[in-house]
A and B are shown apart, each in its own frame.
Chain A
Amino acid sequence: MKILVCISCVPDTTSKIVIDPATSQISNQGLTFIVGPYDDYALSRAIELKESHSAEVIVLHVGGTESEALIRKCLALGADSAVRIDGNPVSSNQIATAITSYVKQNPCDLILMGKESIDYNSGIVHGLVAGALGYTHFNPVMHLELAGDSLNLEVEMDGGKMEVTCPLPAVLGCQEPIAEWKIPSMRGIMTARTKEIVVIPLTDTSEVQLLKADIAETARKNKMIKAEDAEQLIDLLRTETNVL
């Protein structure tokens, strides 16, 4: 059983996002990068399956050299090997095409990734990969159990959830509570040093042109109401804002 876990490397959730005036794009200055939190859930579940079902876990990332430390952390958590498709993708299609090309050359049974990356929030790479490969697709998956040649899943849907049996090969977008985040052990960190990170170039292009990024400013009223006058809130919501 071969599991490919695709990870995004994204600014930490507490990051203050600023624009670089020279490029009109998001500035990477002063940002701390982490493995996407949803991807981290996917990886944690893959490692649990490695331990319980002796699966092989390969981590894949599409991005630049700056991500190597984070890929190394995934190896320290227990992934067996890693692939970095080297480049700076600008669209979900470009990332999905790169993953698809890799899988066509290196078949695997199960592809896991987060339901979305927390930087661009697109949430469509798993669907694009599944569609291109003709694999079964579910998203967002909250529970995953191996059952022989297929999977038992719990999947969130609009207005509820469902339990499904899913044949392999499959591509799944993951979210909590599929697994608990893990912390690398000292032994894991040591062995990760010698594990291989294969680097292949990103050859797929995108026709999307990024023009500029802007910070969303929402002006808030910041009006304080005394606790003893709390009932006034209802009047203000009715008269000042018309939301009631």
Chain B
Amino acid sequence: MKKIAILAQIKEGQLSDTTKQLIAFVSGFQPEQLKVVTLGEIKFNSLGSSLPAEIISLTGDLWVDTASIQTLGNEVKDFCVFGIKSIQTDNLLSLLAANASQEIISGIQHLSYSAGTFTISKSIFSGKASLTLQSSTAAFFSINRNFDFGGVNELPEVAVASSVSLAASATSNAAIVSLKPITGSIPLPDAALVVSAGRGLKDPGNWTIVEDLAKELGAATACSKPVSDLNWRPHHEHVGQTGVKISPNLYIACGISGAIQHLAGVNGSRIIVVINTDPEAPFFKHADYGIVGDVNDILPRLTKKLQIH
């Protein structure tokens, strides 16, 4: 295949494991050239030895800077560009695709390449269905977090052939007034384990039992739409059709009945546990493990069990 570039999200200067898996996956296509574009400063010199990659680190306010889209566009001109779904990745990929007048496909679950054609399976209807499509012209690809890497488990050894740092220019008219990062908790879209609660909690004051269990598990916390509508919890914790869509290894739903709009945000979870007082709650049909009981009784017992063992 021709040239491949990867848009890599950087956390504390490092590439995520999913990014490394993606590098391994695309190097299977034997690209002529491989570029890793990091969104943020990197704090590594080498990733190992076997695969030469050019590292380009982009710094500055890419969010508001259209000029840096042009700069980045020049760096990846005639490349197939891959990224892992996030707000920033999808925004950048679509702007880059428009700049290059190329086809872009997002929400990719599975991808193969043969004789100049990509065959892609894309998640649709919030994971309720998938769509298989072919394109020989698509050049921008946003893969889902639970993308099928097809058994690529070995994280690649990537040698840094060259490293360039590009700073976003300050020519934009848009300006950031304030940044409010969410601190002190595990980011929901990245979390492997999630404890989520709904109105079955009965009172916002009871939220501590959810936090206690989450803390003991090392899980992120989430909530249903009614709970965020009632301002018991902030909007960014709302999972569902109109909230965050997540696909953790474990999703524990506490006092959530399982409306179809809620399921749309969580049915990509590997294991689902449902705790609810109502044995008729529709969520039980979509659960791996169900407990009919009051979350205010059950959650502290689970926390205690984890503390003991």
Contacts and interface: CB of A to CB of B under 8 A. Distances in A.
Interface of A: 11, 13-14, 17, 19, 26, 37-38, 91-93, 96, 118-132, 134, 136-140, 142, 150, 152, 155-167, 175-177, 206-216, 218, 220-227, 230-231, 233-234, 236-237, 241, 243-244
B30 interface: no
Nearest to A155: B63
Contacts of B69: 131
A157 B88 contact: yes
B94 interface: yes
A128 B98 CA distance: 5
B134 A208 contact: yes
Interface stretch (B43-51, B158-166, B195-203, B285-293): B285-293
B292 A227 contact: yes
Contact of A234 (B104, B142, B270, B309): B309
Interface stretch (B18-26, B149-157, B297-305): B297-305
Contact of A209 (B135, B174, B241, B309): B135
Given A17-B125, A131-B96, A230-B302, 9 more contacts: A123-B90, A123-B106, A124-B142, A129-B98, A208-B138, A216-B128, A231-B305, A241-B250, A243-B250
Contact of A208 (B103, B272, B302): B103
B129 A215 contact: yes
A203 to B, nearest CB: 16
Given A121-B124, A127-B94, A211-B134, A222 B105 contact: no
Contact of B104 (A92, A126, A212, A225): A92
B98 A176 contact: no
A132 B66 CA distance: 12
Interface stretch (B52-60, B204-212, B260-268): B260-268
Most chain-B Cβ atoms within 10 A of its Cβ — which of A92, A160, A216? A216
B180 A165 contact: no
A160 B181 contact: yes
B137 A160 contact: no
A16 to B, nearest CB: 9
Contacts of B271: 237, 241, 243
Interface string B71-113: 0000000000000001110110111111101011111000000
B267 A218 contact: yes
B175 A177 contact: no
B291 to A, nearest CB: 5
Contacts of A237: 250, 271, 273, 289
A184 B285 CA distance: 37
Contact of A243 (B64, B124, B177, B270): B270
B95 A163 contact: no
B91 A214 contact: no
A171 to B, nearest CB: 10
B87 A121 contact: no
Q: Which of under 10, 10 to 19, 20 to 34, or 35 or more describes the interface residues of B?
A: 35 or more
8 contacts: A120-B107, A123-B90, A152-B177, A212-B132, A215-B129, A224-B289, A243-B193, A244-B217
B114 interface: no
A162 B273 CA distance: 34
Given A163-B176, A213-B129, A137 B91 contact: yes
A42 B64 CA distance: 21
A134 B70 CA distance: 11
Contacts of A38: 242
A232 to B, nearest CB: 9
B106 A209 contact: no
B35 to A, nearest CB: 20
Contacts of B285: 220, 222
Contacts of A156: 87, 236
Given A13-B241, A13-B261, A243-B270, A222 B293 contact: no
Nearest to B121: A214
Contacts of A142: 235
A162 B103 contact: no
B171 interface: no
A118 B241 contact: yes
A227 B107 contact: no
Contact of B124 (A123, A150, A213, A236): A213
B177 to A, nearest CB: 4
Nearest to B299: A230
B14 interface: no
Contacts of A167: 173-174
B288 A220 contact: yes
Given A124-B90, A231-B301, A137 B95 contact: yes
A69 B306 CA distance: 55
Nearest to A121: B107
Interface string B243-280: 00000011000000000110010010011110100000
A222 B288 contact: yes
A128 B97 CA distance: 7
A213 B126 CA distance: 14
Given A124-B94, A131-B94, A162 B289 contact: no
